[in-house]
Amino acid sequence: MWPIRGMLADAGVTEQQWRVLRVLDEEGPMDPTSIAERAVLLLPSLTRILQKLEDKGFVTRERDESDRRRQIIRATETGRHIIAVNMDTSRKILTDLRERLGDDRHEVLIDLLNELTALDD
Amino acid sequence: MWPIRGMLADAGVTEQQWRVLRVLDEEGPMDPTSIAERAVLLLPSLTRILQKLEDKGFVTRERDESDRRRQIIRATETGRHIIAVNMDTSRKILTDLRERLGDDRHEVLIDLLNELTALDD
DNA sequence: CGCACTTTGTTAACTTGTTAAACAAAAGCA
DNA sequence: TGCTTTTGTTTAACAAGTTAACAAAGTGCG
């Protein structure tokens, strides 16, 4: 799992920036609140992350004219490029991990972690 | 697990400060490097945490005269009092969690997490 | 002895989690 | 319409993880 950080460092993004970009890449443009939910980030964190992503030219923001409190964030071509270039490596790191841990144990682990977080609702 | 934070917030310490105090309480005075190892903290983090604990009067530092690079950190009476007062609640929160998850699942979870971290060595 | 190398700990800089507070736009309502 | 409440987002402030740079003390070797 660790190698993910190295890969992202080389790509010039942090883990959270990567998650946000992936959400936008996979689900299309959306407002910050939805991104935060899907990327499991609190809004104040997301605010800062979006500022960095915007500075780097990986996302753009646009006011939603039908509700001017809202914004629509979209990944730029450059932003989507980061995903495209690193997705294979990312997937490989995860499948390697799954393999090293064992398919069955990996699944049990995920289930137990989900159960654990479900306890806090 | 969450209730731990509430308990500690009431006690006026953070999770990491609590961990450091527990290490010192359970294993006696020791140098920062050893504390970091036992509390699973990086030294730069520990440096800050010890400063806060010292400010609050929960620990004291003393130079090791046989090797003047080293320090010996010890919990004060006040520091140990924090542990004494909150230890029961802390233990109860953990046994409650174990119970809610199920003894067997709890154990499997711990094992899998250990296995996972062991993969990174 | 003098100098390179190692160990211990700190500081700095950056990113994020977290909580609380601030704000502006929109909605609901008298 | 004017006022209160709700919603979406940002800002502020503090603690911690992480990496790099650095100072001081100790070690070892020519």
Q: Find, in chain A, the residue whose alpha carbon is nearest to that of B115.
A: A101
Q: What is the pLDDT of residues B15-28, one digit of tens each?
A: 999 999 999 999 99
CB atoms within 10 A of CB B95: 11
Task: Specify the pLDDT at position A7.
Answer: 95
Do the beta carbons of residue A73 and residue A31 sit within 8 Å?
A: yes
For A41 and C16, how far is CA from C1' in angstroms? 10
Angle at A106 between CA A105 and CA A112, to 5 degrees: 85
Q: Which domains does chain B have, with CATH numbers?
A: 3-118 (1.10.10.10)
Tell me, what's the ipTM?
A: 0.89
Closest approach of chain B CAs to the CA of A31, in angstroms? 29
Which sign, positive or negative, has the C-alpha torsion A93, A98, A101, A102?
negative
Rounded CA–C1' distance between B43 and D22, in angstroms: 15
- The CA-atom distances, in angstroms, between B1 and each of A31, B77, B100 are 32, 27, 11
Whether B109 has its CB under 8 Å from any CB of chain A: the answer is: yes
pLDDT tens for B72-118 read 999 999 999 999 999 999 999 999 999 999 999 999 999 999 999 88
The mean per-residue pLDDT over the stretch B40-45 comes to 98
Beta bridge partner(s), residue B63: B71
- Asked if B42 is an interface residue toward chain A (Cβ–Cβ < 8 A), one would say no
DSSP-assigned beta bridge partners for residue B75: B59
Instruction: Kindly give the confidence (pLDDT) of every residue in chain A, 121 residues in length, as a single tens digit, with 9 standing for 90 and above.
Output: 678 999 999 999 999 999 999 999 999 999 999 999 999 999 999 999 999 999 999 999 999 999 999 999 999 999 999 999 999 999 999 999 999 999 999 999 999 999 998 887 5
Which of B101, B112, B113 is facing A115, going by the closest CB pair? B101
- Residue whose token pair is 């646009």: A62
A110 touches chain B (CB under 8 A): no
